[in-house]
Structure 1
Amino acid sequence: MTTTLALAARLRELDDAALVSALHHRTYRRTGVSDFFDLADALLDADSLQRALAPLDRTHLAALVALGSGGGPLTADELARRLKVEPATTGTTLEAAEAALADLDGLLLVHPADADADADADASADAPAGRVVVYDAVTTHLATWPASGLPSPAELLGTPPPPALAPVPDTESRFTDRLASERAFEAVTAVSELLAELGREGARRLQKGGLALPAVKRLAEALSVDADIVPVVLSAAERAGLAAVDDGMWLPTEAAAAWSHSPTRDRWRALAAAWLDALPADLRTLLALRSRAAWGDSLREHVAWLYPAAVEEAQRRVDAHTRLAEWLGVTAHQAPSSAGTALVEDGPEAATEIMAAQFPSEVDRVYLQHDLTIVSPGPLAPEVEGRLRGIADLESRALASTFRLSATSVDRALTAGETADGIRDFLSTISLTGLPQPIEYLIADAAERHGRVRVHEAERENMRSAVRSADPTVLRSIQVDQSLSSLRLIPTGDGELGSRYPRDVVFWALSDARYPVVAEDADGREVTLRRQRFAHPRAAQEADRDAELVVRLRQAEDDAEEDTGERWLARQLDAAVKARQTVIVEVAMPGGEVVDYLLEPTGVGGGRLRGRDRAADIERTLPLSSIRGVRPAP
C-alpha cells in the first residue's frame, strides 16, 4: 500500500528546490500543516486531489488508472504496453509513457517504488528498475468520479477519441487563403492604430482586468472596429510584447516603435509568432495534428474527450487561442489557411513567406490635393506612413488611406522637430501631383506662427516656469483661457506669465490648447520635447508561500533536533494505525541484531507498539525504544 506514510517519507527526503517546485503545481490547504505528515495529508485530501487531477488529459488519467489497477508497480515500458492496447490510448509509445510518468511524479500523484525497494534489497533483487506506483488515495478518488458525473476509471481507458477529420478541399482552401490574407492585413493595421492611439493617450485598465468602457469606445473608434474586437487587438499586441500595463495604464512598449516602422510582412510575422509561442504545449500538438482539417466544433469535441474532468475550462482555453487565430488570418471560418498550416507545422518564417505573397503591394507615393487632403493609392510603406502621421491627421484608414493637413498638425510636426523646408521636401518627394499652392501657404503660415509663444524655466519664488510672447494679445488670451486655468498663470511684471508648474507641463498644456508654442532651455535655445510614454512593466513581487512552508517545516525539525527521530517514528506509527497499513518494523534485539517484523499496527501507547505479526499470525507488543525504523510493506 502507498499511503500517507510513504508520501510523508518522500516529502521529507526531497531537497528543498524539488519540494518547492512540486508544491507550486499543487493546490492544497496550508492551515494546520506543522510537519511532513500534515503536508502529506493535505496533498492526499480529496479536494487537493481533484484540483490536481481535473486539468490532466486522458493519457495522464489513463496512466493513473493503469497504475492503480493491480499487479504491482510498473516501469514506463510496462505502462506503455498496457496503455497501447486500450481504446483511449491506442499506440502509446515508450516516450509518451515516460513523459506522463515524469509529469505525474512532479505532481506527487505517483510514488517511485524503487525508493521503498532499496530498503528491502532482497525483495527487489529481481524487480526492474524505475518502477512506479500510484498513491492509494488517488485510485480511491478516481473511483468516486462517476458519482460526480465524471468518467469512471473504465471509461477513461475504454472511450476512444472522436474520429479524425478529412483535410479541407483544395477548392475551399483558395477562398480560405484569400479571406485569411485580408484578415491578416487588417490585423496588422489594427495593431498599428492601437499602438498609435495608446502612444497618444494611454488606456486605463480596471482593477479587475479589462478596459474601462470609455477607453474601449475611444479605441474602437480609432481602430474603426466593433468594441468587442478591441480586447482581441490588445491581446495580440500584448502577446507580441508591443503593449503592456504600467502603473495601471496600457501603453506601447519600446519595441512598438521598431515594429511600427517594419514592413507589413515582418509585423504579421511578429504577431503570428507571438500567437504560436503562447500556445500551451498540449494545444500546439493538437493543432499540429489538425493543421490541414477544420478546427471549430470538431476541435471542441476532441478537447472535451481529451480533458474529461475540465471540459468547459479546456474549451474556453482553446476558444481564446482559436479566436485570435481567426482574427490573425491563421484560420478563416475555422479552417486553417495555407499560412496557418505552415505556421503550426514549420514555424513563422514559412508561414510569412506564404502570407506575404498574398498581401497587397505597398506604395511610397501619394496624391496631394488642393483641399489639403492626402490620399494614398494603396497601403503605405511604413517609413512613409510613420513620417506622414507626424505631419497630418489620419481621416480614414483602408487600403487607400486619407490624411488631412491643418495648421495644428503642421505646428505639431514643427514642435516635434520638423522644419518647414523638411516638410516641403518630404511632401514633394512622395507626391504624385506636385505640391499644391494651398499646402505651401499652409506650411509657410504655420512656420511663421510657430514659436510665437515660448516657455522656459524660471527661478523665482513660487514659480517654476514662465511663458513669454512678443505679442501681448496672445499672452492676454492665454491668461484668460479657461482650458489653461489649472496652470495658475499670473503676470510677473516683466511681460511674462509665471506658473508654479514645471516647464514641460506648461508646454504640453499650451500645445494641447493649440497655441504655437516652443520650449527653451536655460540659455534660450529651442529644445524638442517628447511626450511619448513607454510601458516599463515591473514584475509583482509576491511571497512564495510554498517556499515559506518548506522553510518552516525544516526549521521545526531543526528546533526539535534531539527528539526528531522519536517524533518522526511516532508519527509514522500513528499514520500506519489510522490507515491500517501493514509496515515493516525494524527492531533492535538485546544481542545487537536488528530484526524486521511484518506488522499491522493496532495501537501505540505506554511506550509500546501493539500489532499483528502477519508472518507469524500472532499479536506482538514491542517497546518503542527498541524500534529503529518503520517503512511501508511492499
Structure 2
Amino acid sequence: MSQTIAYSDAVVALSDTDLDTVVSLSHLPRLRIADLYDLSSRLAHPDSIDRRLAVLTDEDLRALLAADTPSAAATALLLADGAGHPLPGVADRIAAMRGLPRPEVSAIPALDAPAPWHSVVAVQTVVLQAENSSLPLTATGHVPVSALTDLGHILDIEPSTVSALISIATTAGLFHTDDDHISAEAEAESWLGLSLLDAWRTLADATVPKDLAPVVEQAVLHGAETAQSMSDRLIDAANTRWPLAHEHLAARLQRLLHDWRVLAVIDAAGQLTDLGEAWGAHDDERQQSLAEQWPAPTEYGYLYNHLELLVPGLLTPQLARQLRRIATPTRLVETHTYQISEQTIAAAVGHGESVGEIRDFLKTLLRGDLSQPLQYLLRSFAESPQAVVSPSRPDTAAASTHAAPRTSPSSTPSITMESADDRDPVSRARALVGEFRDSPDARIRLLLETALREHAPISITVRVGDALRTVVLEVIGMGATRLRGREPGAEIERTLPLKAIAEVHPITKETSWDH
C-alpha cells in the first residue's frame, strides 16, 4: 500500500507540464484510467519506470543515487519524491538495467535514398494530394505502403521511402493525423513556398528531437578527431549521456539514422554526405553551393500532340496545384510530366473550372501555341457543357437522401470529445489530478480506496461527539457516504460514516495496532 500512496502523493505534486511529460514518457495504453489509484499503479509499473529512467542523464542519475541529495530532474520524472529519495521500485530497476547489455543499433538500412531535392518534391506531391483526398493510416500511425504504390511509381521512389518521408513531414508539422487518416496542416502552405533547400532543411531539422540535439552536435564536432562514422559517434555519445536508455534509446537512434538515410544526410556506410556535413555544421554557404547543383524550379512547360505536358525541370508547387486540376501527374523526377485527357478536363469543369479559365492558364504555362488536339478538346467542352458529368449526380444525391432514414440519430454511434479525452492518458491524468486537488477529502478517500483494493489494514481516526477515537480496520466496502470494515482477525463488521472520519494513516511496521 505504501508504494501506491507514495506514487499518488508524488503524482499530485507534479506541475501540469511535468505530469504531461511523465504520462507521455510512460507510454500508458489508450485505455480509460479509472481513478488516481489506477493512474498511480500504472506509473509505478516497472515498464513505465524503465521508460522514464531511459531519459535520465548520467549527471541526473548520479544525483538521484546520492544520499539525501534533492534531484529536481528525477522528481520531475516521477522517479524520486520531493526530498530526492528514489520512489519505491526505482532503485531496483536501476540495478536491473545496469546489468543489461547494450542493445545494438541495426545497420544503416540498405535503401535507394532519393536525392535531397527529390525528397522535397515527394513531400510537396503528398501535400498537394492530401488537399483533395486524405491518406489512410495503419494502427501504428503510418501510411500503409499499399496506399502509396501509384505515388511511388510516379515519383520513382520506393513506397516505403515515401511513407518514411510522410512520417518526417508529420513531425515537421506539415500533416496531422486523425484516428484513421492523415491530412495537410495549414502550415504546409507556407512550407510549399520555401526554396528547395529551405524546405529540405525543415524536414532535416524535424528528424532531431530536442533532447537529442546536444548529442548530435557533439557527434558532429568530434568528426575530425576520430575515424568513426557519424552513426557510430552518435550512438557512443547517446549511450554516454543516457546510461539507462537501452532499447528505448536504440529504437530512437535507429529511427533517427533511418530518417537521415532517407533524406541523404548520411550515406549507406553511416558517414555524413556533403550536404549532411554542411547541415550538421550549420554551414549555410556550403549548403547553398550544393543546392545550386539541383534541378531548377521551372514555371513553364511544353505540350505534345498526344496531350502530354512536359516541364523541363521541377514545376513549382503553386503551378503544380493548378495543373493537377486539369491534368494527371505521370512522372515527377528531374523533369515533370502530366497527362491531359477528356476525363481530366471533364473533372475540372465538373468542379467549377470554366473552359475559358483552363485555356487561359495553359496559355500562361505553355511555351508556344496550344496544340490542335488540345484546342479541339476544349472546344468540345465549351460547345457541349451538358456532356460534362457532375461529380454529384442528382439521382445519387436523392438515393442518399432516401437511404438516410434507415439509421436514426439515436442509433448512430458517436464519439464525443469527452470520451476521446477519457481515452487519452495525458488528458485523463490531468483531469484526475485536478479533481484530487479540488477535493478537501480526496486524500482520505484515496487512502481508504487503496486499503480496500489491496486488502491492507489502515488506521482510521473518527470523531465521536467531541472526542476522537482511532481504530485499525480492514476495509471491506465503501459507498458514497459510509465505510464498512472489520478489525484484523475479527469477524465483527463496523460501519462508519465517511463525514465522521478525521484522519487516515497507512499501517507501517512502526505503527502499533494496539489502540
TM-score in terms of structure 1 length:
0.55
Alignment of 1:541-580 (within 5 A): 541-542=421-422, 544-545=428-429, 548=432, 551=435, 555-557=441-443, 571=505, 574-575=507-508, 577=509
Separation in 2 of the partners of 1:52 and 1:220?
Answer: 39
Given that 2:137 and 2:143 are in contact with CA atoms closer than 8 Å, whether structure 1 keeps it comes out as yes
- Alignment-mate amino acid for residue 64 of structure 1: L
Deviation of the 1:33 alpha carbon: 8.3
Counterpart secondary structure, 2:338: strand
CA deviation vs aligned residue, 1:172-223 (integer Å, no higher than 9, x gap): xxxxxxx99x722111111122234444543322345434564243443344
Given that 1:340 and 1:351 are in contact with CA atoms closer than 8 Å, whether structure 2 keeps it comes out as no
Identity %: 21
Work out which structure has the larger RCO, using CA pairs closer than 8 Å and 6 or more positions apart in sequence. Answer: 2
Separation in 1 of the partners of 2:273 and 2:357?
Answer: 44
Give the one of 73, 87, 90 matched to 1:103: 73
Q: Which residue of 2 aligns with 1:312?
A: 247
Q: Which residue of 2 aligns with 1:596?
A: none
Given that 2:327 and 2:345 are in contact with CA atoms closer than 8 Å, whether structure 1 keeps it comes out as yes
Give the one of 137, 141, 149 matched to 2:100: 149
- What is the alpha-carbon root mean square deviation over aligned residues? 4.8
Separation in 2 of the partners of 1:390 and 1:12?
Answer: 54
Confirm or deny that 1:404 pairs with 2:347. no
- Alignment-mate amino acid for residue 441 of structure 2: Q
Structure 2 CA distance for partners of 1:447 and 1:240, relative to 1, 3 Å = farther
Give the one of 604, 615, 623 matched to 2:512: 604
Separation in 2 of the partners of 1:59 and 1:500?
Answer: 68
**Structure 1, gaps ≥5 residues long:** 76-100, 114-131, 152-178, 458-464, 468-486, 488-497, 504-536, 578-600, 608-634
Counterpart secondary structure, 1:541: helix
CA deviation vs aligned residue, 1:475-506 (integer Å, no higher than 9, x gap): xxxxxxxxxxxx3xxxxxxxxxx943469xxx
Q: Which residue of 1 aligns with 2:216?
A: 287
Deviation of the 1:556 alpha carbon: 4.5
TM-score in terms of structure 2 length:
0.66
Counterpart secondary structure, 1:250: strand
Given that 2:265 and 2:272 are in contact with CA atoms closer than 8 Å, whether structure 1 keeps it comes out as yes
CA deviation vs aligned residue, 1:361-418 (integer Å, no higher than 9, x gap): 2222222222322212212233333322222222222111222222222223333443
CA deviation vs aligned residue, 1:293-347 (integer Å, no higher than 9, x gap): 3422332344344444342221111121222223224334433456545655659
Larger radius of gyration: 1
**Structure 2, gaps ≥5 residues long:** 103-111, 224-228, 403-416, 446-459, 472-501
- Alignment-mate amino acid for residue 606 of structure 1: D
Confirm or deny that 1:369 pairs with 2:277. no
Structure 2 CA distance for partners of 1:453 and 1:374, relative to 1, 3 Å = closer
Given that 2:350 and 2:391 are in contact with CA atoms closer than 8 Å, whether structure 1 keeps it comes out as no
Aligned residues: 426
Separation in 2 of the partners of 1:351 and 1:562?
Answer: 76
Separation in 2 of the partners of 1:566 and 1:150?
Answer: 52
Given that 1:368 and 1:434 are in contact with CA atoms closer than 8 Å, whether structure 2 keeps it comes out as no
Q: Which 10-residue stretch deviates more, 312-321 or 301-310?
A: 301-310
Structure 2 CA distance for partners of 1:195 and 1:565, relative to 1, 3 Å = farther
Counterpart secondary structure, 2:386: coil
Q: Which residue of 2 aligns with 1:268?
A: 200
Runs of 4+ residues deviating >6 angstroms = 3-6, 25-28, 30-35, 41-48, 349-352, 454-457, 563-570
Structure 2 CA distance for partners of 1:539 and 1:60, relative to 1, 3 Å = farther
Confirm or deny that 1:63 pairs with 2:63. yes
Separation in 2 of the partners of 1:383 and 1:337?
Answer: 30
Structure 2 CA distance for partners of 1:350 and 1:275, relative to 1, 3 Å = farther
Counterpart secondary structure, 2:183: strand
Give the one of 206, 224, 228 matched to 2:160: 228
Counterpart secondary structure, 1:331: coil
- Alignment-mate amino acid for residue 290 of structure 1: A
Alignment of 1:100-249 (within 5 A): 101-111=71-81, 138-139=90-91, 142-143=94-95, 148-149=99-100, 183-212=115-144, 214-246=146-178, 248-249=180-181
Separation in 2 of the partners of 1:17 and 1:566?
Answer: 36
Confirm or deny that 1:415 pairs with 2:299. no
Separation in 1 of the partners of 2:238 and 2:172?
Answer: 26
Confirm or deny that 1:434 pairs with 2:366. no
Separation in 2 of the partners of 1:565 and 1:12?
Answer: 31
Q: Which residue of 1 aligns with 2:378?
A: 443
Q: Which residue of 1 aligns with 2:399?
A: 500
- Alignment-mate amino acid for residue 450 of structure 1: P
